[in-house]
Amino acid sequence: MSAETPRPTLLKVGGHPWVDRWRDWLVEAGYQVLRARDFQEALLLARRAQPRLILIVDDPKNHLDAIEWLELQHIDSDPLLPMLPLLIVTGRQGGAEARLQELPDRVQVLERPLDPEALIEKVRAMINAWW
């Protein structure tokens, strides 16, 4: 991307150190990545920054349940927020599919572990499809 082209903004929800590595991959691919540690901060940032995509780590043990986020995003008063594409990254093998089966088209799921190419390709495809 050229210096004159604005970098698409993504919002990453989750604070694990390995998630910071994903941020680095996305920044190298030309994205601006905002980081929220919890849902309250994520809602504020999403309303303010209007990212092209939200990336959330499904981690209920640390109070980051993707389904809970999806519900919050859907009922938010900001008319744009419910329409933002959502990429859920989960470490739950198999169980995630049953739990996250009937999702809106704008929501995609990737299972960990991730490699940089898969993450960047999925983000790019989702942004191209929805913007």
Q: Is residue 109 part of a domain?
A: no
- Give the H/E segment covering residue 53: strand 53-58
| Cβ proximity of 16 and 59 under 8 Å | yes
The pTM of the full predicted model, rounded to 2 decimals, is: 0.86
Could you tell me the two tokens for 95? 């169980």
- Give the H/E segment covering residue 9: strand 9-13
Q: Is residue 85 part of a domain?
A: yes
Range of the domain at 76: 14-99
Q: Is residue 69 part of a domain?
A: yes
16: nearest Cα among 53, 50, 64, 54: 64
What single DSSP character describes residue 45?
A: H
| Cβ proximity of 33 and 66 under 8 Å | no
Q: Is residue 54 part of a domain?
A: yes
Per-residue confidence (pLDDT) for residue 87, from 0 to 100 = 95
| Cβ proximity of 42 and 36 under 8 Å | yes
Task: Domain count for the chain, please give it.
Answer: 1
Q: Is residue 114 part of a domain?
A: no
Q: Is residue 55 part of a domain?
A: yes
Pairing of strands 9-13, 107-111: unpaired
Q: How many CB atoms lie within 10 A of CB 102?
A: 6
Q: Is residue 1 part of a domain?
A: no
Residue range 19-31: mean pLDDT, rounded:
91
Q: Is residue 67 part of a domain?
A: yes
Per-residue confidence (pLDDT) for residue 101, from 0 to 100 = 64
* Contacts for 19 with CB less than 8 Å, ≥ 6 apart: 12, 57
Model confidence pLDDT, tens digit, residues 82-97:
999 999 988 766 555 5
Model confidence pLDDT, tens digit, residues 47-68:
999 999 999 988 878 788 888 8
